[in-house]
A and B are shown apart, each in its own frame.
Chain A
């Protein structure tokens, strides 16, 4: 399991090997919000479940990331009522955020394809 800690994904026993994935939390959050507004707890939950628990979002990183995205104008936020009937802060993808998601996804695919070629995987 990889845990998102201090800006990068880390495994329990190998802390240096995951810097490649640095900055991907932003991309994953934006991707999660494509399906509609969600609050922080849902976002973490969706990322963990969709990755079949390979990626665990360290919640100490999630909220700073959400606020960073909001300050950059990639998401907007509002207070609403959650599915549990509790007050929660919902985040919504902005047009700028959608553009950013496309750009980051493209960049990610390029990098992954390049690494795949180096590792000798068939295309």
Chain B
């Protein structure tokens, strides 16, 4: 089954109807030759073939293209329904346009306010730092350090173990014994 056949579907279907009609005609010919009355010949032929619509359905089932065709039909159905209810379509379009527009506007506003206008020379070079570390219990911890970093009280290197989230500590950002001194990110932005 290919795309060309997908669009030839109605042609194929009418061809199948014609084929079934031809089949019935031959069957009626045979029945007449067996000595049936014209009416009987016709009736028996139709009974033997069964419902032509069901056969067309079954041929359609075997030839169908699955999801592409389903989506195509759904889209056409949606378009038809929307055309039938223009007021609903207008309201729906308006609501969606406003929703998307508002989101875009708010995001671009916040973007220029918070992200692009940081008081550093090169805001684009700022990075967010994430740790991956193990706590004493063996739990894997991922702690987001976006925005600020901590200074060690003894002035040493930042130790991942000191900032782990551990189950018995309510605030993971204040490890016991450390003076919670924050250094602004902009001091990390060297340029």
Binding site for B on A (CB under 8 A): 39-42, 45, 58-61, 63-64, 67-68, 71, 82, 84, 86-89
Contact = CB atoms under 8 A, between A and B. Distances in A.
Contact residues of B: prevailing secondary structure:
helix
Contacts of B1: 71
Contacts, number: 66
Contacts of A39: 22-23, 26
Interface of B: 1, 5, 15-16, 18-20, 22-23, 25-27, 29-30, 48-51, 54-55, 58-59, 61-63
Given A63-B20, A64-B58, A84-B26, A89 B50 contact: no
Contacts of B49: 59-60
Main secondary structure of the interface of A (DSSP, over half): helix
Nearest to A40: B23
Given A39-B22, A40-B19, A89-B22, A63 B55 contact: yes
A59 B26 CA distance: 13
B50 A60 contact: yes
A7 B88 CA distance: 46
Given A59-B49, A63-B16, 16 more contacts: A39-B23, A41-B22, A41-B27, A42-B26, A59-B48, A60-B50, A63-B23, A67-B16, A68-B62, A71-B5, A71-B62, A84-B26, A86-B26, A87-B18, A88-B19, A88-B22
Contacts of A58: 50
Contacts of A82: 22, 26
Contact of A84 (B29, B50, B51): B29
